Structure 1
């Protein structure tokens, strides 16, 4: 606690110091010139200055000494013709400034007709207008979103969107902030073509989505994309406040990612944060408060159904076990469970209801200021996020020991731009993130607790009786005890993480040498430190002992005091770049060039273990683009870079790429028309790499010897018991000095078009990737040799697919506009080669030729429903399963040998990575009211119910929980009555019992995990500008949002098709996804 308080106080003090220094600097910049003074226009001086409510800010003008000669008036509107209040209007190179009123009107007196008006407002593109002989203007500002769509952020720079020949998709801050979530990755779901996102947990602080760009292209190491924030690589971008972000781009093909060389094969995500703009300070404040609840939870059987099913399972097992096993529950006991007459000894506990709450709170604050003048521009932001978990508050039982999880995050960012001279520009960026997370420290963490709840039988304990935790028998699975005590839980861990990032950049124009030439340099430092505090405590528990007329609670475990354990670590990274760039036009010929040197060093001090020795990257990058009349396009780029992950001589490689484009709509033969206003074809091909080999980074070095403990034995042997063990060493894995990076050959074809006056925009792309030199462990080496063969670059994979991105925008009348947009992506991978043993009789069992992550198992052919079916002479024999009976699964004999065994395992279903992903958005605005709806879904993906297998069986020692949908298991009665049957017969044996042929990997337990989800809904209302102006504000907007509202899927209730796709093991279940209902306000000052 002291550490937390000290950390918080230190962080606040530093932030206050930075903010005070920043605003003092701005104060000096704005008021440094002593010969300027604040004047009021004549019309304002003649007005009633005492009536402050009628103050018109458009008549408050900050002017230098001297008299202005021309009065300029006008109206400023957006692209839809709606007036924009609070727009900054200034005379260039002077202190003469005003702003528009609630009707978007302004009036300003300028020196003469050569004066230039600077028009700027947050959220819109700035404009410069020469006054000339005109003194009345109607000015239209374009949204900065449209500006971002015209300028695309690419690797090491920006390009004009019409001339981009690579594959790049972009979204802006408006879309990112629509979802009230802690992690940016969750805001991306369904919004970008080619981005496959899977959220596998809803746990606070660990609910980020797993991102894949155009699917998966490797079966080794890390398939995550490279992420850069303002050009600097980061390990985690989910800790950034979405309000700090201007745009986010994903780079997908080789033409756009080859400049990153060995780090570009998995795609690249580029985040650009907001920067300052010319004009008066614009202060923005956003507040969100949300309520979180689980999207879906499994319902367990009640105790009566559970006990009855257990008895029925024993009855149906008698043929298999060849024994007359007595039933587990007597009729009298069943009646007590049914009536609930004895809730202590015959409980009916809903563990989900007891241990999980219905909702929890979440809040988010952000305040930022943006502005500047010609010489200095700034953006400063501070944010706070707080999210509580959904476990029940049991502090009244645990000496105020709160086991619920929680996540808090503090964000700060300041971006400054200094125009030192006409040629020299410098920027200084500083950002910090502090995260405080509280979580379960048990093995498996929170997922183990959720798994304990799911496995707990309703009759395993009464839960809480008379304000005490009560157990009724040893060995019963009691998740409440495991959750609240240190026995098997490991306590509660509090993690404190701090990130500090600083970057200085400088750009210098060399027009004096040749026009369009410039140099760029930057240095950056990232630091990360963490501290972990683990608290453990034993909670008092009791056992109910029956006495005549009631019960008495006997202590089982006494309370203990708090125990503490601390740990921590830190690391840092340094970055440096130096580049020469060139951008010039020669008539109709437009040329750009880039030469760049980039280096990075990562340090893991002070824990400098062998595997944590600092590692570095070095890159030399070259790129050139050319276009003729902006209709014939070409780009060629390449990177020569290397990493210390490999042996000398294998560290560096060259990764080239090229792309071309053609815009027929710019041709003279292409008649201008409103039906096709823009048409572009583009193609690219190149080679990129991946150095994320996973595990030991020094695989090129041998691990020749290792201590194997007291395993060398001398004497008569263990049978006699006279041997003596001695420590020793053995040969490990020899190094492979030829290990190197993966290489991905990527091709891309695309067409872009704008139709019907640009109301319809369509982008369609085809892509293909062949990846080779994938690091893999050889499987065909003889084991009896005693030699452990090192990994080698043996694997090959392909990945092919297509994308479609389309939108339609229109306006009806003066007050109603709407937009419909959608995207669809398909990516199918195939393992082309994996060094594995090939049995000629069962080639279908190989992973080569199949999808990565493909499920394998027996092919189910329904259930045996009658003894006639079981006794059919032509029925295959089940190996090691001699007794089959009605209710068991019928399997297909794939190889026709008359035996059902492992040789009949074949690919079943799909993999756990979706091949299809899509999203579509509906938006409309009527006057001040707007609404946005986002649907998102996936297809061609499977989920294995075998992960929930322990819920299908029981053991006599430890009852296991059973979901209520298993009531629809096969029984003779259900079959005879024609009732729905979704599972094999009930069984009281364990799922892996040799007498139970109905469990294991088979198509019976592989389900289609495709789903459609109402991902996000936002309803907003913007207050009338006249009312807002009276409050002294620029704008005010109220909004209501909801996330993860509804899901349509064919999986069983309580099994989310998204976060249950990959389960760690049968003892763990992921923290369920949450539904968020949010209300917020956004205010601009």
Structure 2
């Protein structure tokens, strides 16, 4: 019934900032039933009483109340700045953010360019809940981060996510300049990733590079220059400290208070005589080795040209990064060309053309990590460098000197060329139908040339006050060269139909994809080079060796997705993919697998019963469930037998037979096949909520469970089968449970803009079955049913033995009772271990799980402030719980490894009767630590931390300054990374690095200045 006072009201709803019409806006009469919504042009019509109040709301906009005073009511809406109206990239298409029912995070370009990094994978750290990003090295060309989405997802088949750039699967996105990236979308749950089937069990990262969208020509230039230094690196003792503490350790070992390794006269001489590199040597290894300034520079130029028919985006990047040591650098060129050609209104041709060339230089005789480890651990009394080209023995019998290794013993140079080509078209035969197809090919050619040169080694001659050559290191010259050819091809065709009827909207996607990977490689080496300036294989006169190989992998899949929503209030999505892999046996019908998913959402904020609830801007509940597969383990043909053959220059390698004075070349089984091997499978369910409230707050929360079955393991077989590689089988089960919360506040206070995001997430892993295997042992780490994968396994340390009486009354340690012999059994100052099984003795049966290195309770806070022309970003990130097991040089005083032994400064906190609660047990010489250094809680250290990851301050130059220069905009900025770290980790050790043996390349603390200019 229409009241007499009711009138027909018409109007138009537009966006306040742009004036564009807003469709699907809800128009309700306050306190009444019924309503209307705007059409594509923003127009609406509704019946209401004069003087009534219209409630006008839409996803992504602030709700508005308008009084009815006339027959025409035009309304403008302000955006809520929660990005709900954005269209985001999802698998094989796009979706409006408000309609997404899976767990998806999108990072825009402005979020990515606030940090200046050499490897783009580091940009993700702390920006997406549930995404663990760990950088383990600051080494040039190797400072990329490992990425895991929602925990570890396999024992043997890897946990790295699938990375897709502009629709093409790639191995990493580290070489793309952040300025060329338009957005990065992270797909986390099964509903959002199932469209990628067998390759998406670890999550998916979609990278979309920029394309031209506007008419005219625009040019931009971006650069930054960075000074780098190590965040943390352990300091070692001086020459005098080394000698005095070595004597103390020898006295502890022998029980003789007069035992010395270095006489008092020598120590006194060091105390009274300045270091002279002759008879008083006090080498600061780190000071001599870390001589590079670690400079990093990056330059990026972009040209964007747009028109009615042709749009082109071009980006060119140059990066150069110096390491901390000599002959340690990385250089990169990257050129990207993204054209779009509008043939006519219904047909568009697009392309992606990318060329990347990189060059990494490293020392040839050892990794930079190993060289730094030696510099950390070598004693100061060893001769380092006496002058230009005069390298000392480093106090080692083998004459290996880390300075010589870094500076003079040759280089290993790796050149990496990558060509990516993608050509495709989009055809719209009907208004609601879009057909798309493309072909892509990525070719990569890594080549490495490693040349080892001899270095002359010298020793001081006190009689001449000079240095005598005593030999060369390493003793022989060699050259190794390798070449690989990797080709990835993919073909894709898909069609998308979108239908609308009143408040019903359906979108159907169907397509197919074929992928082929081929790899071939060749390597050769020679020894015995006379002229170090002629590193050519044909000039090597010594041992010759060659090797080569090839393999391939094919994948095919058919996929579909159906999206349905009613009035953008009730949402439903169904996905399915049918995948085939050449890794599995066709004969046994194991090649193909079907991976479905479904998800639903309810935008409860659009319900009429919440019309009067003003503090909720937007609310959506989400739920999803799905199944995925994984086939990414380290065997291309696990279903087939592999054989090794004799070679003519080595017929006695175990595969030949000798009979009747004749050697017959033969074959032997190398890997045991399993034709029944099939996909790893994972099932995941996810529930979540997206909530906008109090106008300026946005909350996203998720809880998920991921169950993995048929995990691929290598199962031991009886010895009688021979010494072959164990077969791959489907055996294990594992479970991840986790939750994620993200809270954002965004508001404008006149000239001050505030945007703050806080994130917190956790995931807990448990292995639930190993199919009869009691455990998988990895030394100090073990995988066992009922515990997290790769958990630390060892003894529980309960302090130090403070006196002989405590040793006598304690459970016998490792079968050795108390003895008065100083070289036998535990002594005061040694570590006491718990008898966990209570049988009166400590042995291997008392080991238990003592920690895990996977980060727990990851959190971050991102603060963005703008005031007039200034902008400030402060980004902090941390881990609430993580364990780090330290061993070798990183834990043991006088740990020698395979080089001369010394101590770090932290080792000076050792046990004595006056220091009973020391960090370290009593000092003992190398190899004499008894059971003090077995894996135990003594060497498990908390690696929890909070770190100011980045501070970036920018200033946009006033437009009035740039008019004559034809500059559209310019921004100057300075930034600092890894500026402050709060942690309980040992001094000199970075909590982010798994530095178990002190063999690591430190992360970098950086100071940067740069400019962004647009013309």
Q: How does the TM-score come out when normalised to structure 1?
A: 0.79
Is 2:1007 aligned against 1:1069?
Answer: no
Task: Quote the offset at 1:791 in angstroms.
Answer: 2.0
Q: Work out which of the residue numbers 445, 449, 464 in structure 2 matches 1:533.
A: 449
Q: Work out which of the residue numbers 495, 505, 514 in structure 2 matches 1:580.
A: 495
Moved more, 354-363 or 643-652: 354-363
Q: For the residues of structure 1 that align with 2:812 and 2:608, how far apart are their CA atoms?
A: 73
Q: Is the 8 A contact 1:456 1:479 kept in 2?
A: no
Q: For the residues of structure 2 that align with 1:762 and 1:772, how far apart are their CA atoms?
A: 33
Q: For the residues of structure 1 that align with 2:548 and 2:679, how far apart are their CA atoms?
A: 21
Task: Quote the offset at 1:915 in angstroms.
Answer: 2.4
Q: Alpha-carbon deviations, 1:92-133, whole Å to 9, x = none? A: xxxxxxxxxxxxxxxxxxxxxxxxxxxxxxxxxxxxxxxxxx
Q: Is the 8 A contact 1:345 1:462 kept in 2?
A: no
Paired position in structure 2 for 1:891: 833
Q: Work out which of the residue numbers 985, 999, 1011 in structure 2 matches 1:1081.
A: 1011
**For 1:15-34, what aligned pairs fall within 5 Å after superposition?**
none
Moved more, 845-854 or 558-567: 558-567
Q: Is the 8 A contact 1:380 1:415 kept in 2?
A: yes
Describe the shift of the 1:340–1:214 C-alpha distance in structure 2 as closer, same or farther (beyond 3 A). farther
Q: Alpha-carbon deviations, 1:345-388, whole Å to 9, x = none? A: 33111101111037321111111122412322221111111111
Q: For the residues of structure 2 that align with 1:824 and 1:562, how far apart are their CA atoms?
A: 54
Paired position in structure 1 for 2:551: 613
Paired position in structure 1 for 2:746: 809
Q: Is the 8 A contact 1:460 1:477 kept in 2?
A: no
Q: Work out which of the residue numbers 966, 969, 993 in structure 2 matches 1:1035.
A: 969
Paired position in structure 2 for 1:905: 847
SS of the equivalent of 1:259 reads helix
Paired position in structure 1 for 2:538: none
Task: Quote the offset at 1:494 in angstroms.
Answer: 1.4
Q: For the residues of structure 1 that align with 2:573 and 2:501, how far apart are their CA atoms?
A: 17
Indicate the RMSD between aligned Cα atoms, in angstroms: 3.2
Q: Work out which of the residue numbers 381, 403, 406 in structure 2 matches 1:459.
A: 381
Q: For the residues of structure 2 that align with 1:917 and 1:411, how far apart are their CA atoms?
A: 33
Paired position in structure 2 for 1:1021: 955
Q: For the residues of structure 1 that align with 2:548 and 2:581, how far apart are their CA atoms?
A: 17
**For 1:84-123, what aligned pairs fall within 5 Å after superposition?**
none
SS of the equivalent of 2:585 reads coil
Q: Work out which of the residue numbers 518, 521, 546 in structure 1 matches 2:437.
A: 521
Task: Quote the offset at 1:710 in angstroms.
Answer: 5.8
Q: For the residues of structure 1 that align with 2:953 and 2:299, how far apart are their CA atoms?
A: 19
Moved more, 151-160 or 235-244: 235-244
Is 2:327 aligned against 1:404?
Answer: yes
Q: Gapped runs of 5+ residues in structure 2?
A: 1-14, 21-74, 524-546, 776-780, 818-823
Paired position in structure 2 for 1:470: 392
Task: Quote the offset at 1:276 in angstroms.
Answer: 0.5
Q: Alpha-carbon deviations, 1:811-844, whole Å to 9, x = none? A: 22x21111110111101111111145549xxxx9
SS of the equivalent of 2:561 reads strand
Paired position in structure 1 for 2:901: 960
Q: Is the 8 A contact 2:482 2:522 kept in 1?
A: no
Describe the shift of the 1:414–1:546 C-alpha distance in structure 2 as closer, same or farther (beyond 3 A). same
Describe the shift of the 1:730–1:495 C-alpha distance in structure 2 as closer, same or farther (beyond 3 A). closer
Q: For the residues of structure 2 that align with 1:730 and 1:277, how far apart are their CA atoms?
A: 61
Paired position in structure 1 for 2:297: 363
Q: Alpha-carbon deviations, 1:156-178, whole Å to 9, x = none? A: 00000001001111111112222
Q: For the residues of structure 2 that align with 1:414 and 1:1044, how far apart are their CA atoms?
A: 34
Q: Work out which of the residue numbers 133, 155, 159 in structure 2 matches 1:197.
A: 133
Q: Is the 8 A contact 1:471 1:544 kept in 2?
A: no
Paired position in structure 2 for 1:915: 856
Task: Quote the offset at 1:469 in angstroms.
Answer: 2.2
SS of the equivalent of 1:1030 reads coil
Q: For the residues of structure 1 that align with 2:395 and 2:293, how far apart are their CA atoms?
A: 32
Q: For the residues of structure 2 that align with 1:381 and 1:243, how far apart are their CA atoms?
A: 9
Q: Is the 8 A contact 2:600 2:624 kept in 1?
A: yes
Q: Is the 8 A contact 1:775 1:794 kept in 2?
A: yes
Q: Alpha-carbon deviations, 1:26-52, whole Å to 9, x = none? A: xxxxxxxxxxxxxxxxxxxxxxxxxxx
Task: Quote the offset at 1:466 in angstroms.
Answer: 7.3
Q: For the residues of structure 2 that align with 1:725 and 1:967, how far apart are their CA atoms?
A: 62
Q: Work out which of the residue numbers 812, 821, 840 in structure 2 matches 1:876.
A: 812
Moved more, 306-315 or 938-947: 938-947
Task: Quote the offset at 1:1058 in angstroms.
Answer: 1.0
Q: Alpha-carbon deviations, 1:790-829, whole Å to 9, x = none? A: 22100111011000111101222x2111111011110111
**For 1:175-186, what aligned pairs fall within 5 Å after superposition?**
175-186=111-122
Paired position in structure 2 for 1:448: 370
Task: Quote the offset at 1:603 in angstroms.
Answer: 2.0
Describe the shift of the 1:474–1:269 C-alpha distance in structure 2 as closer, same or farther (beyond 3 A). closer
**For 1:342-361, what aligned pairs fall within 5 Å after superposition?**
343=276, 344-357=278-291, 359-361=293-295
SS of the equivalent of 1:970 reads coil
Task: Quote the offset at 1:260 in angstroms.
Answer: 0.9
Describe the shift of the 1:406–1:704 C-alpha distance in structure 2 as closer, same or farther (beyond 3 A). closer
Describe the shift of the 1:850–1:502 C-alpha distance in structure 2 as closer, same or farther (beyond 3 A). same
Task: Quote the offset at 1:637 in angstroms.
Answer: 0.7
Q: How does the TM-score come out when normalised to structure 2?
A: 0.84
Paired position in structure 2 for 1:933: 874
**For 1:263-282, what aligned pairs fall within 5 Å after superposition?**
263-282=199-218
Q: For the residues of structure 2 that align with 1:997 and 1:562, how far apart are their CA atoms?
A: 41
Q: For the residues of structure 1 that align with 2:773 and 2:418, how far apart are their CA atoms?
A: 47
Q: For the residues of structure 1 that align with 2:134 and 2:309, how far apart are their CA atoms?
A: 45
Paired position in structure 1 for 2:570: 632
Q: For the residues of structure 2 that align with 1:1084 and 1:438, how far apart are their CA atoms?
A: 34
Is 2:155 aligned against 1:219?
Answer: yes
Is 2:249 aligned against 1:330?
Answer: no
Q: For the residues of structure 2 that align with 1:742 and 1:561, how far apart are their CA atoms?
A: 48
Q: Is the 8 A contact 1:712 1:726 kept in 2?
A: no
Moved more, 632-641 or 911-920: 911-920
Is 2:582 aligned against 1:644?
Answer: yes
Describe the shift of the 1:1045–1:569 C-alpha distance in structure 2 as closer, same or farther (beyond 3 A). same
Describe the shift of the 1:467–1:729 C-alpha distance in structure 2 as closer, same or farther (beyond 3 A). closer
Q: Work out which of the residue numbers 497, 502, 526 in structure 1 matches 2:416.
A: 497
Paired position in structure 1 for 2:784: 847
Paired position in structure 2 for 1:413: 336
Relative to its length, the structure with more strand (as a share) is 2
Paired position in structure 2 for 1:386: 320
Paired position in structure 2 for 1:753: 691
Q: Alpha-carbon deviations, 1:523-580, whole Å to 9, x = none? A: 1121112332333333333111222xx6331123479999765432222221111111
Describe the shift of the 1:1056–1:728 C-alpha distance in structure 2 as closer, same or farther (beyond 3 A). same
Q: Work out which of the residue numbers 473, 480, 483 in structure 1 matches 2:406.
A: 483
Q: For the residues of structure 1 that align with 2:827 and 2:17, how far apart are their CA atoms?
A: 73
Q: For the residues of structure 1 that align with 2:432 and 2:949, how far apart are their CA atoms?
A: 46
Is 2:638 aligned against 1:699?
Answer: yes
Q: For the residues of structure 2 that align with 1:79 and 1:983, how far apart are their CA atoms?
A: 65
